[in-house]
Amino acid sequence: MEYEAVIGLETHVQLKTRTKMWCGCANEFGAEPNSKACPVCLGLPGVLPVANAEALRLTALAGFLLNCEVAGFSKWDRKNYFYPDNPKNYQITQLDFPSTIGGHVDFELDGDATLVRITRAHLEEDVGKSFHFEDFSGLDFNRAGVPLLEIVSEPDINSADMAYEYLNALKRILEYGGVSDCDMEKGQVRCDVNVSVRPLGKSKLGAKIEIKNMNSFSGVRRALQHEIPRQIGVLQNGGAIVQETRRWDDDAGITESMRTKEDAHDYRYIPDPDLMPHTPTEEWIANVKLGMVELPLARKQRLMAEYQLPEGDAGVFVADSALADYFEEASRGVKDQKAVANWIINDLQAKLTGSETSLADLKFTPAAFSELVGFVESGKISRNIAQEVFTEMFSTGKAPTEIVEEKGLVQLSDTGELERFCKEAIEANPGPSEDYCKGKEAALNFLKGQVMKASHGRANPQLVGDLLKKILTG
Ligand SMILES: [Zn+2]
């Protein structure tokens, strides 16, 4: 019997706000433990939360970017549970009236367009962090109360690869919109995976397994690559899957049981009496929409159409929006835009990696880059010389014009001067010259190389070839 996997993801993303969700504490990673905490986010008695307006705006913006409906009425609920890193003993979240409803993420899977529907994206708060030392545990509440967007997908995902691509697409959209930096290293994106299997073609869902707190997309993929065959194996051997929560052990590469349905929490949700529902005005909504950006997939298609870029190049740019911005700037006024893409993807990226710097540290503008490519295009300098100029631009920030003039790098296209170089090369190398006359085409390249060497790379190779042929055969 054949089986299929049914997967839904709950993705938690920290919003890019200056302060926390209910207080003025800085939303800052890596600070001294408990240095970004106050009576509000520590849940001390007598305090009142005040909603962070920017978090509300980013949530609505995320909703629009994910094709959701942004609710005209949303409210706050308390999810009660005791855990040391949860100082209030409840988490403020949205149960029945979330900020955004419905929607979908469009992305590509193996080159084909596909989509995953979004059930809802609601706003809640993050909890603190526990640290376990040799003989004691520590709690850091700097993260407690940081605004967290929970994006719940429909169970539309049917493979580990699809889950992986969906998460990457989601991350890119949120990064593009400035909703979150989605920095995985800082734990800004975490994911709960719901996965079940069922006989292919059956509509009844199998028992659901939840894998909690995944903090890398490749981890999600590996966990599913393990978990799906595990469940199928159990069923094929006549066993049954019991609904439970499992933990992914990345080192061992297996999932293991954490708790079964019987241990499930009763969260005793109640509406938060301290917070008013959010009922945005039309003006507020219109203002949020001003933050809408071109989505990554749309940008990829546009880059391919507008600049005639191959899919691979467009994919590289879309994965790094700053690089794509740079490309679009540098392409202005340049005829051969593919050449600009090549320079950026190959030469520039290699230089950045080699020097451990980023695009933001570049000493020259995209306009200087267009100038450089323009020089090659017009024949002012050769591709090889352009390399030299580029290296100089990278280290000094000087403009191409300046470098070319200073170093006398302008390509030699003066036929008289080139002829002299060619004649010298022929005289100095009678063997290859004779070979060429006897029909050995490759000998011409040797002579060409000699001329290039003698001219310190400045000779126009096209002209040199033509001239050599003319002299040798004429
Ligand atoms: Zn605080």
What's the one-letter identity of residue 41? C
Per-residue pLDDT of 103-161, as tens digits, reads 999 999 998 999 999 999 999 999 999 999 999 999 999 999 999 999 999 999 999 99
Res. 438: pLDDT tops 90: no
Does residue 264 have a pLDDT over 70? no
Instruction: Report the percentage of the chain scoring pLDDT > 90.
Output: 73
**How far is ligand 1, taken at its centre, from the CA of residue 80, in Å?**
20
Read off the pLDDT of residues 150-183 as tens digits, 9 standing for 90 and up: 999 999 999 999 999 999 999 999 999 999 999 9
User: What spacing in Å lies between the alpha carbon of 352 and ligand 1's midpoint?
Assistant: 39
Distance from the alpha carbon of residue 280 to the mean position of ligand 1, in angstroms? 25
- Within 10 Å of residue 311's Cβ, how many Cβ atoms? 13
Determine the pLDDT at residue 440: 87
The answer to whether residue 239 scores a pLDDT higher than 90 is: yes
Distance 209 CA to ligand 1 centre (A): 35
6 CA → ligand 1 middle, Å: 40
CA 149 / ligand 1 centre spacing (Å): 18
Residue 320 confidence (pLDDT): 87
Q: Which residue has the higher pLDDT, 352 or 461?
A: 352
At 38, list the tokens: 């106050």
The least confident of 25-34, 42-51, 228-237, 429-438 is 429-438
Distance 268 CA to ligand 1 centre (A): 25
The pLDDT, as a whole number, for residue 123 is 98
Mean pLDDT value across residues 441-457: 86
| 233 pLDDT more than 90 | yes
281 C-alpha to ligand 1 centroid (Å):
28
State the Cα torsion 455-456-462-463 to the nearest 10°. Answer: -20
Q: Over range 206-228, report the average pLDDT.
A: 95
How far, in Å, from the CA of 141 to the mean position of ligand 1?
9
Q: How far is the CA of 220 from the centre of ligand 1 (A)?
A: 32
Ligand 1 geometric centre to CA of 39 (Å) = 6
Which pLDDT tens digit goes with each residue over 268-297? 999 999 999 999 999 999 999 999 999 999
Mean pLDDT, range 42-59, rounded to an integer: 96
Q: How many angstroms is it from 31 CA to the middle of ligand 1?
A: 14
Nearest to 408 by CA among 427, 436, 381: 381
36 CA distance to ligand 1 middle (Å): 7
What are residue 61's phi and psi, to 5 degrees?
-65, -45
Taking the centre of ligand 1 as the mean of its atom positions, its distance from the CA of residue 113, in whole angstroms, is: 43
Q: How remote is the CA of residue 43 from the centroid of ligand 1, in Å?
A: 9
pLDDT at residue 411 above 80? no
pTM: 0.81
Q: Could you tell me the distance, in angstroms and rounded to a whole number, from the CA of residue 464 to the centre of ligand 1? A: 72
What integer pLDDT is reported at residue 92 of this predicted model? 97
Q: pLDDT, tens digit, for every residue of 333-374?
A: 888 899 999 999 999 999 999 988 888 888 999 999 899 998
212 CA → ligand 1 middle, Å: 27
Calculate mean pLDDT across residues 307-331. 92
Evaluate if residue 260 carries a pLDDT over 90. Answer: no
* Closest by Cα among 179, 181, 180 to 64: 179
CA distance 40 to 43: 5
Cα(150) to ligand 1 centroid in Å equals 21
What local confidence, expressed as pLDDT, does residue 263 receive? Answer: 66
User: Under 8 Å CB-to-CB from 39, ≥6 apart: which residues?
Assistant: 46, 47
Q: What is the pLDDT of residue 464?
A: 87
Cα 262 to ligand 1 centre (Å): 35
* HSE-up (13 A, CA, CB side) for residue 324: 26
Average pLDDT of the chain is 92
pLDDT above 90 for 328: yes
- The closest alpha carbon to 214, from 9, 7, 6, belongs to 9
Question: How close is the Cα of 126 to the center of ligand 1, in Å?
Answer: 12
Question: How far is ligand 1, taken at its centre, from the CA of residue 46, in Å?
Answer: 14
Which pLDDT belongs to residue 148? Answer: 98
Say what the pLDDT of residue 207 is: 93
Segment 187-199 mean pLDDT: 96
Map the chain to HEC letters: CCEEEEEEEEEEEECCCCECCCCCCECCCCCCCCCCCCCCCCCCCCCCCCCCHHHHHHHHHHHHHCCCEECCCECCEEEECCCCCCCCCEEEECCCCCCEECCEEEEEECCEEEEEEEEEEEEEECCCEEEECCCCEEEECCCCCCEEEEEEECCCECCHHHHHHHHHHHHHHHHHCCCCCCCHHHCCEEEEEEEEEEECCCCCCCCCEEEEEECCHHHHHHHHHHHHHHHHHHHHCCCCCCCEEEEEECCCCEEEEEEEHHHCCCCCCEECCCCCCECCCHHHHHHHHCCCCCCHHHHHHHHHHHHCCCHHHHHHHHCCHHHHHHHHHHCCCCCCHHHHHHHHHHHHHHHHHHHCCCHHHCCCCHHHHHHHHHHHHHCCCCHHHHHHHHHHHHHHCCCHHHHHHHHCCCCECCHHHHHHHHHHHHHHCHHHHHHHHCCCCHHHHHHHHHHHHHCCCCECHHHHHHHHHHHHHC
Residues whose Cβ atom is located within 5 A of ion ligand 1: 23, 25, 38, 40-41
